[in-house]
Every structure is written in structure tokens, then in C-alpha cells.
Chain A
């Protein structure tokens, strides 16, 4: 079942000469982690904003085509209330996602459930579970503004997790996280997809995202350039010409192949994508 449906979607920011999205048709399924992959300016962030119903309402600009989030138009005032709390939206800058009104981390995580009018008991259970899941339970009495960027991003993620959303829209969520934090995030996203949520993550980090994604949608100049299973899309040669490149192991193989005078089968495309695959191929 598709949780998000974009059909013939075009989007142009105010005053922009070119479209940020051009005739994009792509569906995001429940229970699947979809990876939006593209170079800076490819349209990944815009696609997330449009899917969440935040663009053009907050950004200005012109939207064309059809956008359905959980079966409803996310921009329509009538469906906005029904969609409250059902779609999580996380960006790379945690400091701008804090409510600014919570005195403690626990209050920060409880902020959204409280807004939705949940009972205090339900809020308490959800907030405690979310804090523990993100490994920040020990920070619950701290002032959110005093946290490091990585801690803050975990708290933001916990705040969204407390809502048990049907859809996750994440824009470079690992940017502020350390390696352990990114591992926690990957586990969280996989678990959320297994629960039945649709997860859409925009990331330029091919090495980290490869492991968690079920499907990759490569954007180039606001259009869908490639789409499919990450292992097949990222191992090919086309990702280097139409996309932002592939994993560091694939890059190593490709450069090594280019440096040889004679073609070598072990280095030719499809390239290995991670160290384990590379070792299997080369040893």
C-alpha cells in the first residue's frame, strides 16, 4: 500500500528560474525504507517538504500535480487536522526543531503528544519508551538547549517516535549524529518500517544509508533519474553519470579499474558496494 503518492508533481520556489521538481511521479510504500539520493540541489529536500504538505504553504512557490499523504491531500485545511501526528518530519538541524518551550528533555519529547491531547498516562509511557529507544533516557531532566547537536538530534527523533507516526520523512537526519547515533538511527528506521511505517530518508551518505534502504530513488535536476533496489542501482555505472556517485568501496573499485591499462573483471561494474563484498571479490 502506498503511504505517499506523488503524481506528475512539479514545484518551483518563488523567484526561481528552474523547477526544483519537474514532473515527478513516485510512490512510497508502507513498511519500506526508501532512500532519496541526489546531489545538492537535486530536489530531495523539496520532495520531502512537498510530501509533508509543508511546501508551498511555508516556503511559497508553485506546486503542480497531485500529492497524497496517507490518502489525503496534506495541503488541504480539512485533511491537515486528520494528519496531525501521523507524519514525522526531521531535518539536519536539530536546534531549529526544538519546541523552544520545554524546560526538560522529557517535556520536549512529550510536547507533540501533549499537543494532540493524549492522556497524561499515555504521554508518559510514550515519552519514556521513546527516550529509552534513542538511548537518551539519562538526559530526561536536562535542559534541551544545553545538549550537544548529536544529543539534540536524538531527542528530536525521540519526540517524533513518541507519536508512533505512520510516515517518517527525514532530511539528512544523521548529519548531527556520531557513528553510534547513526547506527541507532538505522536500527530505529528499520524497526519503524517493520512496524508498518513508510520511511523516506534523504541522505547523501551512501555508505550509511545503503544498509538500511529497501529502495533508492535517485533524483537529478528535480527529476527521477534512477529507481530500484540500492544494490543494483548503486553498483552500476549510470549512478556516476546521472547521480551523486556511490559508496566509497564502489568508488575505490571504479578508480582502480580506471587506473588499469587492461580491463580487469574483478574491478569492473557492477562494483562491490561494501568492504565485505569487496573482500569476497578481490581475495
Chain B
């Protein structure tokens, strides 16, 4: 996976996608609207495609589609809206952030991230907090799917009238929440018996910084400085 044939996003140092995603979030609001966010969205899309995670583009667009629709209604179709520029700016911001987040989630490898944190001498607890946060969404989705299948097998109807669908949410969400809470306890015990409280973790395969990582992080830092500087000096 980490060989030369692997996409750039899989070979990157685990901190690089995090730095880029954080920079994109800040830039989305720091750059002048509407051209700044639109250019950022285009740059994010190009970066994600070049890095070998084109599916993140589609995921980002799917997440944003209903929001774009509402922004169009709010700012363009309805009287008293802020106009097309506002809709484009906000839509592009959302698009850039959603695409960057989707790419981050797709490229995230917990074990490599833990190794990178261990190399830096950072505690397992801090690293695990970040890992658990980033993994919570796919884990919840998998659990929700399993519960949905189980409840369907027991005769729960998930289609039909809106009221019926609403009623079906209770047997779906309640086990999801209770199961997640119970899992937290069990996993905490399992992790404790596996030495996570120890002071120093050995990185199994310490990730290294490549020229691309340095270039990407430097470019992100420079873009941030320029955008924030422009914010300070502009009227």
C-alpha cells in the first residue's frame, strides 16, 4: 500500500492530509468571496484528484447537493436573498470543506497516524482521541447498517408513509445509541489490558516526510499566511 505504485494520498505522511484539511477549512472563510472560495474548491478538487482520491470528490458533492439546493432557494429564488454571489461563495466553501474532509477520511490510516504521533512523543490517549473521532462516522454507519438489517429481519418496515418511517427511527436509533455506549466500556477495558496506559509507545513503522509532504505543508502554510495577511490589511 505504501509502495511507489500506491496513490500519493496513501503514501503521504499521516500529518499532511490533516494539515491540508485544516488549512482548507481556514482558507474557505479567509479568502475573499465569491472568487476565493470558488478557486479554493477548484484547487481542492484538483488536489484530491491528483492525490489519487477522486471518489472523495463525488462523496463531497453528494453531501453538499441538498445544501447547495437550499442555498440557491435561500439566496437566489426567494425575494430578499443575498444573491447569486453569496450562494456561490457559501456553496464553494461547503464544497471545499466537504471534499477535503472526505479525502481525509478516505486516506486516514489509524496505525500510521499512531506511529507518527509516537515518533513525536505524543501520548496514546491524545492520538486515540483523534483516531476515534475520525473513525466514529464509518463505525456508526456500519453499526447502523447492521441494526437496520436486524430490525428488518424482525419485520420492521422502513418504507411507506412518512409517519411510519418516522416511527421506525426509534427501534433503529435506540439500539444504535445504547450499543455505542456499551461498546465504549468494553473497548476501554480491552485497551487497558493491552497496555495503552504505558508511557512510551514504540512506532511499528515510523512514517517519513517526503519532498511532497514538505511541499504540500509549506504551500498550505504560505497560503494561510497570505490569506490571513490579506484579511488584516484589506479594508
Contacts and interface: CB of A to CB of B under 8 A. Distances in A.
Contacts of A113: 195, 202
Nearest to A114: B202
Contacts of B118: 114
Contact of B198 (A52, A81, A159): A81
B111 A100 contact: no
Given A84-B195, A89-B193, A96-B190, A115 B111 contact: no
Nearest to A80: B197
Contact of A123 (B114, B131, B190, B202): B202
A69 to B, nearest CB: 12
A97 B201 CA distance: 19
B18 interface: no
Nearest to B128: A101
Interface string B184-195: 011111111111
Interface centre among B187, B191, B197, B202 (most CB of A within 10 A): B202
A96 B111 contact: no
A89 B193 CA distance: 6
A99 B114 CA distance: 12
Interface of A: 49, 52, 54, 58-59, 80-81, 84-85, 87-89, 91, 93, 96-104, 107, 110-120, 123, 159-160, 163
A123 B194 contact: no
Contacts of A49: 189
B197 A81 contact: yes
B110 interface: yes
Contacts of B185: 58-59
Nearest to B138: A145
Contacts of B188: 58
B124 interface: yes
Contacts of B111: 101-104, 107
B198 A97 contact: no
Contacts of B203: 114
25 contacts: A54-B193, A58-B185, A58-B188, A81-B198, A84-B197, A85-B195, A85-B198, A88-B193, A91-B186, A99-B191, A100-B110, A101-B111, A102-B110, A103-B109, A110-B204, A113-B202, A114-B118, A114-B201, A114-B203, A114-B204, A115-B201, A117-B198, A120-B204, A123-B204, A163-B195
Given A98-B190, A103-B112, A117-B198, 19 more contacts: A54-B189, A54-B192, A54-B193, A84-B198, A87-B193, A89-B189, A96-B183, A96-B186, A99-B191, A100-B110, A100-B132, A104-B111, A110-B204, A111-B194, A114-B118, A115-B194, A117-B200, A120-B204, A123-B202
Contacts of B201: 114-115, 117
A41 to B, nearest CB: 18
Contacts of A110: 204
B199 interface: yes
Contacts of B190: 89, 91, 96-99
